[in-house]
Amino acid sequence: MVKRQALEPLEDIVDAPSPAMKRARVEDEEMDSPPPTNGTSNGHLMSPRQQEADSLDDDDDDEAAIAVPRRQVAPEEGYTDLYLDTIDRKVLDFDFEKLCSVTLSNINVYACLVCGKYYQGRGPKSQAYFHALEEGHHVYVNMETKKVYVLPEGYEVLSKSLDDIKFVVDPRMSKEEVARLDREPKVSWDLLNKEYIPGFVGMNNIKANDYFNVVVQALAHVVPLRNYFMLEDLTARPQLAQRFSTLVRKIWNPRAFKSHVSPHELLQEIALRSSKRFSLTNQSDPVDFLSWFLNHLHLAVGGSKTKPNSSIVQKVFQGTLKIESQEITARADAGDRLRFEDAAVKTEISKFLVLTLDLPNAPLFQDALERNAIPQVPLTAILNKYNGMLPQEKMRDRVRYRLLHPLPPYLMFHIKRFSKNKFVSERNPTIVTFPVRSLDMAPYVEPNPKVYPPGEPIWYDLVANITHEAVKKKDDSVEGEQETKVWRVQLRDRSRNGSKGEWVGVQDLFVEEERGETLFTKESYAQVWERRRGGASTSANSKGKMRAT
Whether residue 383 is found in the same domain as residue 523 = yes
* Residue type (1 letter), 492: R
Is residue 130 a contact partner of residue 100, using CB atoms and an 8 Å limit? no
Q: What is the pLDDT of residue 295?
A: 96
**To 10 degrees, the CA torsion angle through 192, 198, 199, 201?**
-10
Q: Rounded distance, CA 212 to CA 279, Å?
A: 9
Q: Rounded distance, CA 338 to CA 329, Å?
A: 11
Whether residue 324 is found in the same domain as residue 337 = yes
| CATH number, domain containing residue 153 | 3.30.40.10
**Beta strand segments in 237-276, E:** 260-261
Chosen domain end from 133, 168, 203: 168
Whole domain around residue 121: which residue ranges? Answer: 84-168
H-state helical runs in 20-126: 50-67
For 322-368, write each residue's pLDDT tens digit.
999 888 776 555 566 777 776 778 899 999 999 999 998 877 666 65
Whether residue 223 is found in the same domain as residue 154 = no
Q: What is the pLDDT of residue 544?
A: 39
Chosen domain end from 108, 133, 168: 168
Is residue 496 a contact partner of residue 200, using CB atoms and an 8 Å limit? no
Q: Beginning with the edge strand found earlier in the chain, give each strand of the sheet holding 139-142 in spatial order.
A: 118-120, 109-112, 139-142, 148-150, 155-157
**Beta strand segments in 421-458, E:** 425-427, 431-433, 439-440
Angle separating helix axes 223-231 and 239-251, nearest 10 degrees? 110
Q: Rounded distance, CA 248 to CA 221, Å?
A: 9
| Structural domain includes residue 50 | no
Q: How many domains does the chain have?
A: 3
DSSP designation for 222: -
Whether residue 343 is found in the same domain as residue 403 = yes
Is residue 222 a contact partner of residue 229, using CB atoms and an 8 Å limit? no
| Structural domain includes residue 298 | no
| Structural domain includes residue 55 | no
Q: Rounded distance, CA 235 to CA 242, Å?
A: 7
Q: Rounded distance, CA 32 to CA 428, Å?
A: 97
Whether residue 152 is found in the same domain as residue 176 = no
Whether residue 282 is found in the same domain as residue 326 = no
Strands 431-433 and 376-378: parallel
Whether residue 281 is found in the same domain as residue 365 = no
Strands 355-358 and 410-416: parallel
Residues of the chain short of pLDDT 70, as ranges, are 1-70, 74-80, 330-336, 342, 364-372, 473-482, 498, 534-549
| CATH number, domain containing residue 190 | 3.90.70.10
| Structural domain includes residue 296 | no
For 95-132, write each residue's pLDDT tens digit.
888 999 999 999 999 999 999 999 999 999 999 999 99
Whether residue 122 is found in the same domain as residue 202 = no
Strands 481-492 and 459-474: antiparallel
Whether residue 376 is found in the same domain as residue 486 = yes
| Structural domain includes residue 177 | yes
Whether residue 271 is found in the same domain as residue 192 = yes
| Structural domain includes residue 307 | no
Chosen domain end from 140, 168, 196: 168
Q: Which CA distances in Å does 458 have to 71, 214, 453, 530? A: 67, 27, 10, 11
Whether residue 221 is found in the same domain as residue 125 = no
| Structural domain includes residue 306 | no
Is the overall model pTM greater than 0.85, yes or no? Answer: no
| Structural domain includes residue 90 | yes
Whether residue 482 is found in the same domain as residue 423 = yes
